[in-house]
Amino acid sequence: MQSGEQSSRSGSRVDPWRGRYAARAAGMVASEVRALFAVASRPEIVSLAGGMPNVSALPMDTVGALMTELVAERGAVALQYGSAQGDPGLRETICEVMAAEGIDDASPDDVVVTVGSQQALDLVTRVFVDPGDTVVTEAPTYVTALGVFAVYQADVVHVAMDEDGVVPEALAETFARLEREGRPAKLFYTVPTFQNPAGATLSAERRHRVVEICRRARVLLLEDNPYGLLHLDGDEPMRALRADAPDDVVYLGSFSKTLAPGLRVGWALAPSAVREKLVLAAESAMLSHSVFNQLAVDRYLRTQPWPEQMRDFRAMYRERRGAMLDALEKYMPPGVTWTRPAGGFFVWVTLPEGLDSKAMLPRAIQSRVAYVPGTGFFADGGGRQAMRLSYCYPPPERIRDGVRLLADVIGAELRM
């Protein structure tokens, strides 16, 4: 046996299929966030890295009882194939959920249930983006959206954002420049509310302008909104961009942060013609979503006091956000700045000039704290001076400890 064969069987790095992959596989590289998970999940490390919701706050007994009931009462349906578009009852429920964000004209016919909103992102990109097409995103942006765009060989162009979200003038200029360069934008992908990773929210005033800029430029607006109902200041959620632009926006929603990511239930709401394409794309991708999971989500929402559950979730995340912001204030050395999110899970920290969050990470891990370096959230190598911290998973005391450890690491870097 040749040594190459031997090493591939024993699981070494030699890949006998090298050179045979499709060109799009070149874009399939592990994200920095994923590579981090294994290390960050070690119990001795305070992980401010992952964006995992705290599902332990769910009433597990109730969830269990509800699933048992589901099998007893509707097992023959729940365990059967379903439609690629998703369960009609759940699609109605989804329309009620979206109404809270001002989307009051959605028809269940225009909803496609997906395997988390991640799959919706994949399907929309598959339907709209050819290799070399231009996709515009905020800078920074959601890391796994960048992963999808890479797989479909899109060219990602970033637009500046600040604490009020994407800067409309910069967006309009970028669209105009791309048009002049003969590579007009196909999609504008945005997380306008409690953004992952920056924690920023597009202001009400900018919302209208952003919609209008996309409409004029004939660029499809892809609104990704998994955090909208996790508003931590005030009683009302933000109004979705889709609420005022039914023909120009594909809206993505998810039950991952408001119920449980393990169920993998998300959705897309799209103008009818787009929706038809998405259903066909979904069919070729997976034939049928898990009917069981869809019915479980629907039953939970219809039979349980979900609005109260959401209030409890918000209270829990509000406390954790408070712990993080207080600790940042208390421990961070001068020159470090951070965002103050009005909801969601994330704070974006900017380090003083000269520090490099990626180079610093091994030293942070040695000091038993983990974060995500900013570079993962940029397609163009930006973000070295920044990092994402999440306050969703560790309890408040751990968050405080983690920020203190991190502040010590940053302080030591500054003295180096």
User: Do 319 and 381 contact (CB within 8 A), yes or no?
Assistant: no
Rounded-to-integer distance, Cα 242 and Cα 176, Å: 23
* From candidates 82, 108, 192, 261, binder to ligand PMP by CB under 6 A: 261
Q: In this structure, what token pair is assigned to residue 124?
A: 């929309």
* C-beta of residue 93 within 8 angstroms of C-beta of residue 106: no
Is the torsion defined by CA of 168, 118, 258, 340 positive or negative? negative
DSSP 237: P
Least CB distance to ligand PMP at residue 224 (A): 5
180 residue type, one letter: R
Q: Of 217, 312, 311, 240, nearest to 94 (Cα)? A: 240
x/- letters, 188..227, toward ligand PMP (CB under 6 A): ---x----x---------------------------x-x-
**Complex with ligand PMP: residue 139 or 172, whichever CB lies closer:** 139
146, 372 Cβ separation under 8 angstroms: no
Place of tokens 């504008």: 188
Positions in 144-163 near ligand PMP (CB under 6 A): none
User: Cβ 388 to ligand PMP, closest distance in Å?
Assistant: 11
Number of residues located near ligand PMP, criterion CB under 6 A: 13
Judged by CB under 6 A, the residue of 266, 341, 374, 383 near ligand PMP is 266
Residue 116 C-beta: closest distance to ligand PMP, Å: 2
CB of 261 to ligand PMP, least distance (A): 5
CB of 13 to ligand PMP, least distance (A): 29
Cα-Cα-Cα-Cα dihedral sign, residues 330, 331, 333, 335: negative
Q: Which is nearer to ligand PMP, 134 or 254 (CB)?
A: 254
Helix (H) or strand (E) holding 46: strand 46-47
* Out of 190, 193, 254, 258, the residue judged to bind ligand PMP by CB under 6 A: 254
Q: Is position 256 an interface residue for ligand PMP (rule: CB under 6 A)? A: yes
Smaller CB distance to ligand PMP: residue 256 or 375? 256
- Contacts to ligand PMP from residues 223-252, by CB under 6 A: 224, 226
Q: Which stretch binds ligand PMP (CB under 6 A): 21-29, 67-75, 253-261, 312-320?
A: 253-261
For the chain, the 3-state helix, strand and coil shares in percent, each to the nearest 5, are 50, 15, 35
Using the minimum distance from each CB to ligand PMP, give the nearer residue, 78 or 297.
297
Q: Burial, 26: exposed, middle or buried (Cβ in 10 Å; 0-12, 13-18, 19+)?
A: exposed
Using alpha carbons only, what angle is made at residue 292 by residues 284 and 266, rounded to the nearest 5 degrees?
A: 60
Per-residue binder mask for ligand PMP (CB under 6 A), 99-138, x = binder = -----------------xxx--------------------
Minimum distance, C-beta of residue 127 to ligand PMP, in the bound complex (Å): 17
Kindly state whether residue 142 participates in binding ligand PMP, applying the rule CB under 6 A.
yes
Is 51 near ligand PMP (CB under 6 A)? yes
Question: Does position 293 bind ligand PMP by CB under 6 A?
Answer: no
Residue number with the shortest CB distance to ligand PMP? 116
At 179, the amino acid letter reads: E
CA atoms of 92 and 102, how far apart (whole Å): 16
Report yes or no: 108 and 94 within 8 Å, Cβ to Cβ: yes
Residue 271: C-alpha distances to residues 96, 274, 414 (Å): 18, 6, 52
Binding site for ligand PMP (CB under 6 A): 51, 116-118, 142, 191, 196, 224, 226, 254, 256, 261, 266
